[in-house]
Chain A
Amino acid sequence: MKILVLVKQTFDTEEKIAIRDGKVVEDGVNFVINPYDEFAVEEAIKIKETLGADVTVVTVGPARAENALRSALAIGADMAIHVDDEAAFGDEITISKVLAAVARRDSYDLIIGGNMAVDDGAAQVGPRMAEELGIPHVAAITKLEIKDGKAYMERDAEGDTEILECPLPLLVTAQQGLNEPRYPSLPGIMKAKKKPLERLSVADLGLSPDEIKAKTEVLDQFLPPKKEGGRILEGELPDQVAELVRILRYEAKVV
């Protein structure tokens, strides 16, 4: 079985955001594998351990994104593909077409990505890529079992759990709760340095910049208005509670 795992390198979720000239400042930021993609990598490794599989991880991103691939290799992926090409950094149309071109170079039974990236939060690339490849997708899965060429899944649909099955090939996206991602071991990190990592350009994938052109444009980026310090209530506890209820009911009028 062949599995392709889609990863994106994102800001650590504990990072605060600064914006300069409409752009998010990256200086001094700690980058990690997108937390949802960590579930995707872990799930692929679990399948590899139980059923046997070749696991390839792919990312589209600048040079720094190689660290995300190395982390995935360190926890057990077999090889990595890095599309590091300005022409590939467009919008979700661009990324999904580039990833689909990567997927077409081999025959993958299963493609696993994260349910969304914690930076853009659009959750578009998975379903778009599945459509590009003409394969089904199931998003936000919390359970996956592969048996006899079929995937048996549970999906989180805003709190309800859908139980699904689908023949392979299939693209799934991982929701929190799917598994407990492991940390890379020291031997794993050493081994990862020797595992194959292929660097590709858009031209290597046989794509022209025109056919993967973005159809959206970011006009501006800005921070939300800063919240002013709130009011800590004082006095005896019952009085604080009564005062809070009075404020919420008659001043803020939210209840």
Chain B
Amino acid sequence: MSRTVLVMAEKRNGNLRNVSFEVLAAGRKAAAGGKVVAVLFGESTPEDAEALARYGADQVYLAGHEKLREYTPDAYSQALRQVIQAVSPDVIFLGHTAIGKDLAPRVAARIGCGLISDCTDLEASGEEIVFVRPIYAGKAFQKKKITDGIVFATIRPNNIPAGEPDASRTAQIVSFEADIKDVRAVIKDIVRKTAGKIDLTEAKVVVSGGRGVRSADGFKPLYELAEVLGAAVGASRAACDAGYCDYSMQVGQTGKVVTPDLYIACGISGAVQHLAGMSNSRIIVAINKDPEAPIFKVADYGIVGDLFEVVPMLTEEFKKGMG
């Protein structure tokens, strides 16, 4: 059975986020031969629409209202509801991002439908769409479906691979005039700490530090390694609690759950709550002085040693092959 699918694309720091292409891939799967409509709020360029088309959109709604420049729940939920009304989709996918996870429940409540959050996979071969999502931050998983009404889900970045872009694909562009009334919670300013940095939840490689980094300065070698690898830098709760770094860097059951291709844990012992946030990474490397540290039980490769000795050596070794 073919379905009409609406997906929301997102931009960050001027660029389309990769999760936009991932929700399109999920959307194509769910559409089962039906139509996939992408919507992009805020400022956009013709190149954005072209990219969304190449990655699977049949139609692209661009809603460039001034009040959609920055995300607010009030403005975005009004606009998304209007787009839903115009498209009347069977399925809606948003990324499980700061915006998506905030917006989706608000809109789902308003239109009276169920919502499955933070999905890492979906099966759409049969009559119904079945979603897989982590519970207890990935210590376990569940399969879930919507029993009534629109199938609405948020998709975790970095899990459902984007499709191969098809340069021959084009999409119909719809310039959408959203009607935005009251916006109650207003943004006064944004401190962009992430500009130019790689997003932790979308990074292909994450270098993380724990109590073993011993100070804020101790993160320096980790940043140098991350720079060479194009990686994001994360941290364990112990490192955040000790004040070595910002809580926004925390990986774990409280904090962010990451699933990169490569996770390098430096001076992290491997508390259960930290393992929950990273153990579904594809390859895990642990560097720790203590050979008994639990992190070695989930690591694919381990080096027993002082991170301040090992990490700079790793940085140099990686540099070698990169010319």
| Contact (Cβ within 8 A) B302 A13 | no
The complex places the Cα of A15 from the Cα of B136 at a distance, in Å, of 10
| Contact (Cβ within 8 A) B272 A118 | no
CB-CB nearest 5 A-B residue pairs: A215-B114, A166-B185, A131-B109, A136-B184, A13-B273
| Contact (Cβ within 8 A) A17 B190 | no
**From residue 259 to 297 of chain B, which have CB atoms closer than 8 A to chain A?**
261-262, 271-273, 276, 279-280, 282-286, 291, 296-297
A54 within 8 A of B: no
Q: How far is the CB of B120 from chain A (nearest CB, A)?
A: 10
**From residue 185 to 240 of chain A, which have CB atoms closer than 8 A to chain B?**
214-224, 227, 229-233, 237-238, 240
Closest B residue to A154 by beta carbon equals: B191
* Chain B: interface size category: 35 or more
**Chain A residues within an 8 Å CB radius of B71:** 157
**Chain A residues within an 8 Å CB radius of B305:** 237, 240
| Contact (Cβ within 8 A) A128 B137 | no
Interface of chain B, main secondary structure: mixed
| Contact (Cβ within 8 A) A14 B271 | yes
B147 within 8 A of A: yes
A-binding segment of B31-39, B138-146, B172-180, B215-223:
B138-146
**Chain B residues within an 8 Å CB radius of A123:** 101-102, 105, 117-118
Given contacts A164-B187, A222-B141, are A252 and B273 in contact (CB under 8 A)?
no
- Chain B, residues 123-142, CB within 8 Å of chain A (1/0): the string is 00000001000111111111
B88 within 8 A of A: no
| Contact (Cβ within 8 A) B194 A160 | yes
The complex places the Cα of A4 from the Cα of B193 at a distance, in Å, of 32
B66 within 8 A of A: no
A177 within 8 A of B: yes
Given contacts A160-B190, A166-B186, A167-B184, are A128 and B248 in contact (CB under 8 A)?
no
**Chain B residues within an 8 Å CB radius of A1:** none
**Chain A residues within an 8 Å CB radius of B273:** 13-14
| Contact (Cβ within 8 A) B248 A159 | yes
A-binding segment of B1-9, B49-57, B160-168, B197-205:
B197-205
Closest B residue to A135 by beta carbon equals: B184
| Contact (Cβ within 8 A) A241 B117 | no
| Contact (Cβ within 8 A) A242 B317 | yes
Closest B residue to A161 by beta carbon equals: B191
Residues of A in contact with B (beta carbons under 8 Å apart): 11, 13-17, 19, 24, 35-36, 91-93, 96, 118-132, 136-140, 142, 156-167, 170, 175-177, 214-224, 227, 229-233, 237-238, 240-242, 244-245, 247-249, 252, 254-255
The complex places the Cα of A132 from the Cα of B110 at a distance, in Å, of 7
Known: A242-B317, A245-B321. 13 other contacts (CB 8 A): A121-B257, A127-B73, A127-B106, A137-B185, A158-B201, A162-B70, A165-B186, A166-B185, A175-B247, A220-B143, A230-B299, A232-B302, A237-B303
The complex places the Cα of A232 from the Cα of B286 at a distance, in Å, of 9
| Contact (Cβ within 8 A) A221 B140 | yes
**Chain A residues within an 8 Å CB radius of B70:** 162
Closest A residue to B199 by beta carbon equals: A158
| Contact (Cβ within 8 A) B135 A35 | no
Which residue of B188, B257, B296 contacts A230 across the interface (Cβ within 8 Å)? B296
| Contact (Cβ within 8 A) A219 B321 | no
| Contact (Cβ within 8 A) B135 A159 | no
Which residue of B187, B248, B282 contacts A156 across the interface (Cβ within 8 Å)? B248
- Chain B, residues 242-268, CB within 8 Å of chain A (1/0): the string is 000011111011110100011000000
